[in-house]
């Protein structure tokens, strides 16, 4: 299947920084080695035009990002050193999610090997997130007449505050976030449904909570398109997560989300979000398993949406 990546556009990082910049290249190599995609099916999008970003983000914030003029407070909150390369890479990541979302509309499921930058809100960029790729992709699908109603299933271990901020007043979008109660961000912006899980939750209780949340969210959303943030950071070995899921538990999570959405004919665009294992190869294992689960669901039942 076709996948999107921006792994070759790197940016300067201090040594021992927690951002897993090597993950993206290893993941590209891994999905090809696994046979999930051929090398020529892993595509590199052009940077998202600024106009796409202006459709969801505050113009003054975008100018500060473009010009390297973030305030000291904003830079600290972002947690990544500004560089022109950082901005270009982030624009490419957004474009990857847009391309994957269009692919999902056409084929049923799509995946970007990046994106899921859910801490970026309308007028703030924090927690390693410059732009909110999901909000941008949804806006474009709507402008193109490809989808209207949307569901966000955010299974990154951190709460999806930026996405909640951007979609709070959107009656046609339902935001669901399952996350560690004691994890970042410590000041929340409420989603339509937030599920706070205790530290050490483990596979069984996690999957139960996820299933209950989907029971509520899927019929409520009646979504044409869903965005699934398949964060690897609920894993037991993650340095930032606290939920103690195993790798088989995370695979079961992916299957649960994908199969519930498939059962209602909802198109699904999968994005990567976070993952901070000590050994980056563990994060890559988890992400590659998600990509394989996505690929196994093609062809997708239900045909094309009207207008797609």
Residues at the contact surface with Zn ion, assessed by CB under 5 A: 156, 158, 231, 233, 274
**Residue 156 or 282 with smaller CB distance to Zn ion:** 156
Name the maximum alpha-carbon separation found in the chain: 50
**Residue 91 or 119 with smaller CB distance to Zn ion:** 119
- The CA-CA-CA angle for residues 259, 240, 165, to 5°, reads 65
**Residue 55 or 181 with smaller CB distance to Zn ion:** 181
Cα torsion 158, 99, 216, 172: sign: positive
Cα distances (angstroms) measured from residue 290 to each of 171, 248, 282: 30, 11, 13
User: Could you tell me the smallest distance in angstroms from the CB atom of residue 102 to Zn ion?
Assistant: 25
Distance, CA of 33 to CA of 113 (rounded, Å): 15
Distance, CA of 232 to CA of 96 (rounded, Å): 19
User: Could you tell me the smallest distance in angstroms from the CB atom of residue 272 to Zn ion?
Assistant: 10
User: Could you tell me the smallest distance in angstroms from the CB atom of residue 149 to Zn ion?
Assistant: 26
Judge contact between 11 and 82, C-beta under 8 A: no
SS3 224: coil
Please identify the residue of the shown chain whose CB is closest to the bound Zn ion.
Answer: 274
The continuous run of DSSP H or E covering 19 comes out as none
**Residue 110 or 241 with smaller CB distance to Zn ion:** 241
User: Could you tell me the smallest distance in angstroms from the CB atom of residue 47 to Zn ion?
Assistant: 24
User: Could you tell me the smallest distance in angstroms from the CB atom of residue 188 to Zn ion?
Assistant: 14
**Residue 47 or 274 with smaller CB distance to Zn ion:** 274
């Amino acid at each position: 299947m076709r996948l999107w990546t921006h792994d070759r556009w790197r940016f300067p990082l201090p040594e021992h920084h927690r951002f897993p910049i090597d993950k993206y290249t290893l993941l590209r190599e891994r999905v090809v080695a696994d046979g999930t995609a051929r090398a020529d099916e892993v595509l590199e999008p052009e940077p998202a035009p600024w106009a796409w970003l202006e459709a969801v983000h505050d113009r003054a914030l975008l100018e500060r990002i473009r010009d390297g003029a973030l305030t000291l407070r904003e830079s600290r909150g972002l947690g990544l050193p500004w560089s022109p390369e950082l901005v270009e890479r982030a624009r490419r990541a957004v474009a990857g999610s847009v391309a994957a979302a269009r692919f999902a509309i056409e084929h049923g499921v799509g995946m970007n090997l990046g994106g899921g930058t859910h801490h970026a809100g309308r007028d703030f960029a924090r927690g390693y997130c410059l732009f909110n790729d999901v909000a941008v992709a949804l806006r474009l699908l709507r402008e193109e007449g490809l989808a209207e109603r949307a569901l966000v299933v955010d299974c990154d271990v951190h709460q999806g505050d930026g996405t909640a901020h951007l979609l709070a007043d959107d009656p046609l979008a339902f935001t669901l976030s399952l996350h560690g109660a004691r994890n970042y961000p410590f000041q929340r912006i409420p989603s339509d449904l937030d599920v706070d899980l205790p530290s050490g939750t483990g596979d069984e209780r996690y999957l139960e909570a996820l299933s209950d949340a989907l029971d509520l969210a899927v019929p409520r959303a009646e979504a044409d398109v869903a965005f699934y943030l398949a964060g690897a950071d609920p894993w037991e070995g993650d340095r930032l997560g606290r939920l103690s899921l195993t790798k088989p538990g995370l695979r079961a999570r992916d299957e649960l989300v994908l199969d519930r959405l498939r059962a209602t004919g909802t198109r699904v665009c999968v994005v990567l979000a976070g993952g901070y294992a000590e050994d980056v190869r563990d994060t890559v294992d988890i992400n590659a398993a998600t990509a394989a689960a996505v690929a196994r669901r093609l062809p997708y039942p239900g045909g094309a949406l009207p207008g797609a």
